[in-house]
């Protein structure tokens, strides 16, 4: 192909490289220049134009674009009529876009005149959606260049651009339950999943809710393995922390297999993929409860289209795997993770209650081995890595302060203590210093909580891994104290009524890490009988 300026009278039969308008003469870009065009341009004073001549063996832009587009188009795709050197590819059916990068890269490396662009590989697409385009940049390419591009289209396995149509449409869902997980959270989760399934014309055909225990989940999975469901999704009330955790253990106990746990996509790190009775199983990360894009979407739609997801596929998702934020997972710049030895953690000891169930005496002033109960709790916090220690007073504030005489603590008085636990929680969180990364909220009536227990919970706080709420457990039952990342402080300050923050734990399972501690974290002394059994001696009521 020749390209360049030429006297207008010599341009007859050439292609106009640019549109030319002079007087009544109009010659559009890409059109052959006729003798009439040349005459009118000359009369209008145009001496020369930029023109293109095709040489022997050249292939025009439209023909070249069409041939190459048809060469790369595979299953469930169609090529539209070419125009101005461009031929677009469209999906003919909803599914997941499959692209052979080796083919596309080989074509684009041949010559700057030939380009191919596609949507991202594995993107869910709908029928009629444009998925790729071939653009021949000049007005023609040498036949040899086109042949090399066509040869490049055959590289790799299968057609370079194709759509895997959705094939799995019957989905089973199991939600595990813990006391802090509200039914409304499960309902919302199912609604969000239904919206994700709609483009694939898939639906939830079986839905079950079982306790967050390996035995109960195993039994349910066995039944689903024999059901008509084609894919199983498990939403855990508590995030999966290890291959030996409840959900992976139940999958294997049901006769299934855990293929891979974890993925380099954020949000979505704690995803598990496995199989059971020939069906894929997804252990959903907590972020899958949100409608925003996360790693769960990347895996779900591939499996709905019967596209295998291997360990190599998952570990290759890191580049581009940092996705948009969700409310429950602040950006790193909003909460910069510190190394374990650098974490600044406060302890908030709630000591404002009225001990109503004691029938009069203030249980926090009861003595155990000669030491007031409240003093035992505060001394344990002081001996831990937490600093400062903040004590929230309310009922019989002067007596509580007296029981803590000589201790280096920060006192915060809650004048609204009679309105419920939330008022003390708000007062304590408001007093946490700005430089603290989080706070451990402690109850003052738990004599079994030692400095070692507190330090164990602090060590489990790993915001860089998503662990922003740390909850101690005993035999699967959640207890206290609970560690809260600063990212939850605003919501803690918004709690109302005579309740704690248990609902926030249930609403944000992807941020929760449970640590098995022992009976100390569930032993609180609310009644005279419990106090007597623990060896405490109540003072007489005022």
Q: Which of 385, 394, 399, 386 is nearest to 350 (CA)?
A: 394
Lowest mean pLDDT among 116-125, 182-191, 302-311: 182-191
Q: What is the pLDDT of residue 341?
A: 42
CATH class label, 58-165: alpha beta
Lowest mean pLDDT among 54-58, 180-184, 305-309: 180-184
What proportion of the chain, given as a percentage, has pLDDT over 70?
93
Reply yes or no on whether the pLDDT at 208 is more than 80: yes
Q: What is the pLDDT of residue 174?
A: 97
Return the CATH number of the domain spanning residue range 170-315. 3.40.980.10
Contacts with 362 (C-beta within 8 Å, 6 or more apart), sequence order: 354, 355, 395, 396, 399, 400, 539, 541
Q: What is the pLDDT of residue 484?
A: 95
Q: Which of 132, 70, 149, 134 is nearest to 97 (CA)?
A: 132
Q: Compute the average pLDDT of residues 136-156.
A: 86
Length of the chain: 542
3-state secondary structure of 457: helix
Contacts with 183 (C-beta within 8 Å, 6 or more apart), sequence order: none
3-state secondary structure of 318: coil
- What integer best gives the mean pLDDT of the chain? 88
Task: Tell me the pLDDT band of 27, cut-offs 50, 70 and 90.
Answer: confident
Per-residue tokens: 407 = 């201790």
Q: Compute the average pLDDT of residues 530-539.
A: 72
DSSP-derived secondary structure letter, 130: E
pLDDT digits (tens, 9 = 90+) for 63-116: 999 999 999 999 999 999 998 899 999 999 999 999 999 899 999 999 999 999
pTM score of the predicted model? 0.59
Reply yes or no on whether the pLDDT at 339 is more than 50: no
User: Which is higher by pLDDT, 85 or 18?
Assistant: 85
State the fold for domain 340-529.
Spore Coat Polysaccharide Biosynthesis Protein SpsA; Chain A (3.90.550)
Reply yes or no on whether the pLDDT at 1 is more than 70: yes
Reply yes or no on whether the pLDDT at 338 is more than 60: no
pLDDT digits (tens, 9 = 90+) for 355-409: 777 766 888 998 888 899 999 999 999 999 999 999 999 999 999 999 999 999 9
Q: What is the pLDDT of residue 269?
A: 92
Contacts with 356 (C-beta within 8 Å, 6 or more apart), sequence order: none
Q: What is the pLDDT of residue 354?
A: 82
Query: CA-CA distance, 105 to 235, in Å (whole number)?
Result: 39
Task: Tell me the pLDDT band of 9, cut-offs 50, 70 and 90.
Answer: confident
What ranges make up the beta strands (E) of 262-305? Answer: 272-276, 279-284
Query: CA-CA distance, 144 to 231, in Å (whole number)?
Result: 49
Q: Compute the average pLDDT of residues 492-516.
A: 83
Contacts with 384 (C-beta within 8 Å, 6 or more apart), sequence order: 347, 451, 454, 455, 458
Q: What is the pLDDT of residue 10?
A: 81
Q: What is the pLDDT of residue 330?
A: 40
Q: Where in the chain is the domain with CATH 3.90.550.10?
A: 340-529
Reply yes or no on whether the pLDDT at 218 is more than 80: yes
Residue with tokens 């005489």, as numbered in its chain: 405
pLDDT digits (tens, 9 = 90+) for 448-471: 899 999 999 999 898 777 789 999
Q: Compute the average pLDDT of residues 289-308.
A: 93
Pairing of strands 203-211, 170-177: parallel
Reply yes or no on whether the pLDDT at 541 is more than 70: no
**Residue 396, Cβ density class (10 Å: 0-12 exposed, 13-18 middle, ≥19 buried):** buried
User: Which is higher by pLDDT, 353 or 379?
Assistant: 379
Q: What is the pLDDT of residue 511?
A: 87
User: Which is higher by pLDDT, 343 or 306?
Assistant: 306
3-state secondary structure of 128: coil
Q: What is the pLDDT of residue 331?
A: 40
Task: Tell me the pLDDT band of 156, cut-offs 50, 70 and 90.
Answer: low
Q: What is the pLDDT of residue 284?
A: 95
Q: Where in the chain is the domain with CATH 3.90.1170.30?
A: 58-165
Task: Tell me the pLDDT band of 42, cut-offs 50, 70 and 90.
Answer: confident
Reply yes or no on whether the pLDDT at 143 is more than 50: yes
Q: Where in the chain is the domain with CATH 3.40.980.10?
A: 170-315
User: Which is higher by pLDDT, 185 or 111?
Assistant: 111
Reply yes or no on whether the pLDDT at 155 is more than 80: no
Q: Where in the chain is the domain with CATH 3.90.105.10?
A: 2-53
Q: Compute the average pLDDT of residues 223-229.
A: 97
Contacts with 30 (C-beta within 8 Å, 6 or more apart), sequence order: 15, 16, 84, 139
Task: Tell me the pLDDT band of 202, cut-offs 50, 70 and 90.
Answer: very high
DSSP-derived secondary structure letter, 376: H
pLDDT digits (tens, 9 = 90+) for 404-454: 999 999 999 999 998 888 999 999 999 999 999 999 999 998 888 999 999
Q: What is the pLDDT of residue 69?
A: 95
Reply yes or no on whether the pLDDT at 509 is more than 50: yes
Could you confirm whether domain 2-53 is CATH 3.90.105.10? yes
């Amino acid at each position: 192909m020749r390209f360049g300026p030429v006297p207008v009278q010599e341009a007859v039969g050439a292609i106009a490289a640019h549109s030319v308008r002079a007087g009544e003469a109009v010659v559009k870009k890409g059109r052959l220049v006729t003798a009439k065009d040349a005459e009118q341009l000359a009369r209008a004073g145009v001496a020369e134009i930029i023109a293109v001549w095709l040489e022997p063996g050249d292939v025009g832009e439209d023909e070249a674009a069409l041939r190459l587009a048809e060469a790369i188009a595979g299953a469930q795709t169609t090529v539209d009529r070419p125009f101005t050197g461009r031929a677009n590819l469209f999906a003919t059916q909803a599914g997941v876009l499959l692209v052979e990068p080796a083919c596309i890269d080989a074509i684009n490396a041949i010559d700057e005149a030939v380009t191919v662009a596609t949507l991202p590989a594995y993107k869910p697409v709908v029928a009629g959606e444009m998925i790729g385009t071939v653009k021949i940049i000049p007005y023609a390419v040498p036949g040899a260049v086109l042949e090399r591009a066509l040869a490049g289209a055959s590289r790799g396995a299968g057609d370079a651009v194709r759509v895997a149509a959705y094939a799995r449409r019957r989905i089973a869902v199991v939600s595990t339950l813990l006391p802090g997980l509200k039914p409304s959270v499960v309902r919302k989760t199912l609604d969000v999943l239904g919206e994700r399934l709609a483009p694939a014309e898939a639906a939830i055909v079986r839905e079950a809710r079982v306790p967050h225990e390996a035995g109960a989940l195993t039994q349910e999975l066995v039944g689903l393995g024999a059901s008509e469901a084609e894919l199983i999704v498990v939403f855990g009330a508590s995030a999966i922390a290890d291959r030996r955790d409840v959900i992976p253990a139940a999958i294997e106990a049901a006769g299934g297999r855990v293929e891979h746990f974890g993925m380099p996509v954020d949000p979505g790190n704690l995803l598990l993929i496995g199989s059971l009775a020939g069906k894929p199983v997804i252990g959903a990360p907590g972020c899958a409860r949100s409608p925003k894009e996360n790693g769960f979407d990347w895996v779900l739609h591939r499996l709905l289209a019967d596209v295998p997801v291997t360990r190599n596929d998952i570990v290759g998702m890191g580049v581009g795997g940092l996705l948009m934020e969700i409310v429950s997972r602040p950006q790193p710049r909003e909460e910069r993770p510190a190394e374990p030895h650098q974490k600044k953690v406060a302890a908030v000891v709630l000591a404002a209650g009225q001990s109503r169930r004691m029938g009069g005496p203030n249980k926090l002033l009861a003595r155990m081995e000669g030491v007031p109960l409240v003093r035992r709790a505060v001394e344990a916090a002081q001996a831990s890595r937490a600093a400062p220690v903040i004590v929230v007073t309310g009922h019989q504030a002067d007596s509580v302060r007296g029981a803590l005489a000589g201790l280096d603590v920060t006192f915060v008085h809650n004048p609204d203590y009679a309105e419920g636990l939330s008022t003390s929680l708000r007062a304590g969180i408001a007093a946490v210093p700005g430089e603290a990364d989080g706070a451990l909220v402690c109850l003052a009536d738990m004599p079994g909580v030692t400095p070692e227990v507190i330090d164990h919970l602090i060590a489990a706080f790993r915001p860089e891994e998503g662990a922003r709420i740390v909850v101690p457990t005993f035999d699967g039952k959640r207890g206290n104290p609970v560690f809260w990342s600063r990212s939850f402080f605003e919501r803690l300050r918004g709690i109302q009524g005579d309740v704690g923050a248990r609902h926030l734990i249930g609403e944000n399972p992807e941020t929760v890490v449970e640590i098995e501690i022992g009976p100390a974290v569930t032993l609180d002394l609310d009644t005279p009988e419990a106090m007597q059994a623990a060896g405490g001696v109540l003072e007489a009521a005022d």
